[in-house]
Amino acid sequence: MSATRLLFRFDPERLQAELNTLPADAWIGHYNHKEYEGDWAVAPLRSVGGHPEVIYSVPIAAHQPDFYKNTPFLDKMPYINGILQRLACIIGSARLMRLGPGARILEHRDEMGLGAARDIRLHIPICTHPEVLFWVDGQALPMRPGELWYADFTKPHHVSNNSTVDRVHLVIDCKTNDWLLNHIERGHELTRIVAFLNEIGIPTQEKTLAGETFLPGILIENGRIFYDVEKMLSPGDLLHEAGHIAVAENPNQICGNVGEHDPNAMGDEIATILWSMAALRHLNIRPETVFHEQGYKGQSAWFIENYKAEKWIGLPLLEWMELCVDPKNAATSGQPPFPHMLKWMRGKVD
């Protein structure tokens, strides 16, 4: 996967308000005229030496202290400045990039450096439209205002603004570090998890959640999962909560705090954990994503150890639900053994 959305969400109205403070003469036409048609312009917020008319970025220059500095434009944008400070990595170039109505960025590749020394480029859409088509390595990116996206721009990419409005993105070049790589991986995992859950029949939708929930940032209503990317502890919590829906005889009754006042809660929890382990294996996701340090009452390492050793504690319960076959019964049944699942859902969400 050459691109993914990261688990951040920023306020589109505040971004737009600060964009509107930018003077018209701050925009400079992009210098590489062979790579675009129409209006493609740049306003530098962090540039070489902080100069307000230097719009290019230099690969891996973020590794050099004080090579990039804030321009006067960024100093008048406290919200955007706060976003840059929130990213726990060294920021190099930061630019506003405008693509006018009908304009196209032709297919090309960007030089971002190599190996551990490479830069990572992030995009935050400020103004966009459904008819803006952004493709990276054959993958369409459905970017919406206020989202934070990573893409590998060393791969072929192109953009077409087929709308009647300006498309404006905040484009940020960052020095690679573990924090950033971990958030990119979390973004990849969330994308795979959400697609999987919707595919097997557990409706899953992003939503701003105002109140407290049993697991931060996740709400279950009648077998449906709503999640808030800004509040979730880990994308793996979606898999655990989905497991409760999947192993329920009537998933439409699953709401709120799963297991509360339920005499079968302990058995369902065991089945849910095993279901989560099977989903991890199926999706090729790190066990630490589900069994993270902030959950499972300090027993996360024990669950990970069992997962890696294939100690499937309580498996007869999941087999009784007719979701899988215990390895000791696989030979006689003619079915592949757990963690292969015969089916993912015990019941059906209406």
Residue 339 belongs to some domain of the structure: no
Tell me, yes or no, whether 172 and 263 share the same domain: no
- Domain count within the chain: 2
Q: For residue 297, what are the domain limits? A: 182-333
Give a yes or no: residue 338 inside a domain: no
Decide the pairing of beta strands 91-99 and 36-37: unpaired
Residue 350 lies in a domain: no
Query: Dihedral (C-alpha) 324, 327, 329, 334: value to the nearest 10 degrees?
Result: 70
- Could you tell me the pLDDT band of residue 260, with boundaries at 50, 70 and 90? very low
Q: Is residue 347 part of a domain?
A: no
- The residues, any chain, with a CB within 8 Å of residue 196's CB and separated by 6 or more, are 279, 282, 283
How many residues in total does the chain contain? Answer: 350
In this prediction, residues 332-338 reach a mean pLDDT of 91
For the record, the structure tokens of 76 come out as 């008048």
Indicate if 190 and 158 belong to the same structural domain. Answer: no
What would the pLDDT profile of 121-135 be if each residue is shown by its tens digit? Answer: 999 999 999 999 999
Do residues 49 and 194 both lie within one domain? Answer: no
Residues 168 and 233 in one domain: no
The answer to the question of residue 102 being in a domain is yes
| 313 lies in the same domain as 165 | no
28 pLDDT band (50/70/90 cuts)?
very high
Q: What is the pLDDT of residues 277-327, one digit of tens each?
A: 999 999 999 999 999 998 888 899 999 999 999 999 999 999 999 999 999
Report, as an integer, the average pLDDT of 214-243.
94
Domain check: are 166 and 263 in the same one?
no
Q: Which CATH number covers residue 55?
A: 2.60.120.330
Quote the percentage of the chain above a pLDDT of 90.
Answer: 82
Predicted local confidence at residue 266, as pLDDT: 62
Q: Do residues 134 and 99 touch, judged by C-beta distance below 8 A?
A: no
Does residue 196 sit in the same domain as residue 162?
no
Listed range (126-140, 149-163, 249-263, 276-290) with the worst mean pLDDT: 249-263
Helix, strand or coil for residue 178? helix
3-state secondary structure of 209: coil
pLDDT score, position 334: 87
pLDDT score for 62 = 73
Phi, psi of 74 (to 5 degrees): -65, -35
Longest dimension (CA), the chain: 76
CA dihedral over 201, 207, 211, 216, signed as positive or negative: positive
pLDDT surpassing 90 at residue 39: yes
pLDDT tens profile 244-254: 999 998 888 88
Q: What is the pTM of this model?
A: 0.90
* Inside any domain, residue 349: no
Q: Give yes or no: residues 21 and 130 share one domain.
A: yes
Q: What is the mean pLDDT of the chain?
A: 93
Quickly list DSSP for 48-96. ETT-TT-----TTGGGSTTSEEE-HHHHT-HHHHHHHHHSSS-EEEEEE
pLDDT at 251: 87
129 in a domain, yes or no?
yes
302 and 244 housed in the same domain: yes
Question: For residues 100 and 40, is the Cβ–Cβ distance under 8 A?
Answer: yes
Q: Is residue 43 part of a domain?
A: yes
Same domain, 24 and 158: yes
Q: Which percentage of the chain shows pLDDT scores above 70?
A: 96
Considering the domain architecture, whether residues 35 and 85 belong to the same structural domain is answered as yes
299 CB-near residues (< 8 Å, 6+ apart): none
Q: Do 171 and 254 lie in a common domain?
A: no
